[in-house]
Amino acid sequence: MPRSLAALAAALLLALALAACGGDDDGAAATAPAPATTAATDHAGAAGHGGGHDDAEHGAGHGAGHGDDDADAGEHDAARHGGHGDGPAQMAGHMRTVARTEQDGMLVEVVAMEPEEFTVREGGRTIRHRPSARDDAHLMVTLTDAASGERIPYSSVQIALSRDGRRVLDTRLWPMMSRHVGMHYGENVALPDAGRYDAVLTVGAPEVARHREVADRWTRPLRIAFTLDWTAP
């Protein structure tokens, strides 16, 4: 599928709506309040994604991404990214912050960019996840301690999109790092149809040892509902 950086830059517009999800609160899951504003921030990237997915060679290692392609992480094909190796220019060209909200001192941002290859360790192997020809974007969520500006690891993030009550996408994002974005949660997704989607983000309580000052922070999962206006590349 041909991709255009310019098209992707305009791909996402998102308005965080109130997250009146849950109705009768069960006391366990925190619910995001109505966010202050929608932020749509462009980040200029350097190099475009090279396209060129070799699914035949790498079998199923793509898409929502749990493929069993047993690849060597060190075998990265820099040429596919314009020969920039693993520097910042490796990242796909254009990122856009499409949602931002803060709750309980945690800044939650949703960022979209072109599909991106990544690797995952599973069971002693390194699995390469190449974007599929159907994938339209690499969706990322960053979690940041609003007080310190430090990224929050060891959480879990799931995103669900539906339209007219029908589920379109429901996927878990991988905990992931990059030099361009830093620690985030991401996944390549197929979302070809333009239009408005109802989105729900589930952010898990970070499972990590804590110093005393954050011992009681972010101990409950968050459920954040918003509306996503999507324009296909």
- Interface with other proteins (CB under 8 A): 21-31, 60-68, 121-124, 154-156, 158, 160-162, 165-172, 174-175, 198-200, 202-207, 220-223, 225
Q: How far is the CB of 196 from other proteins (least distance, A)?
A: 11
User: Using alpha carbons only, what angle is made at residue 152 by residues 158 and 136, rounded to the nearest 5 degrees?
Assistant: 40
**57 class by beta-carbon count within 10 Å (0-12 exposed, 13-18 middle, 19+ buried):** exposed
Residue 45 or 67: the one with the smaller Cβ distance to other proteins is 67
Q: How far is the CB of 131 from other proteins (least distance, A)?
A: 13
3 state SS of 10:
coil
Q: How far is the CB of 46 from other proteins (least distance, A)?
A: 30
Q: Phi, psi at residue 32, to the nearest 5°? A: -70, 140
Residue 156 or 178: the one with the smaller Cβ distance to other proteins is 156
Q: What is the torsional sign of CA 213, 216, 221, 226?
A: negative
Q: How far is the CB of 159 from other proteins (least distance, A)?
A: 9
Q: How far is the CB of 91 from other proteins (least distance, A)?
A: 23
Residue 6 or 34: the one with the smaller Cβ distance to other proteins is 34
- Residues facing 14 on adjacent strands: 228
Residue 60 or 107: the one with the smaller Cβ distance to other proteins is 60
Residue 24 or 75: the one with the smaller Cβ distance to other proteins is 24
Taking only Cα atoms into account, the Rg of the chain, rounded to an integer number of angstroms, comes to 18
Residue 53 or 94: the one with the smaller Cβ distance to other proteins is 53
Spatial CA neighbour of 139 closest among 174, 166, 164, 168: 174
Residue appearing with tokens 């990214």: 81
Q: How far is the CB of 143 from other proteins (least distance, A)?
A: 13
Pairing state between β 30-31 and 222-230: parallel
Q: What separation in angstroms does the CA of 215 have from each of 102, 207, 210?
A: 19, 11, 5
Spatial CA neighbour of 29 closest among 104, 141, 140, 108: 104
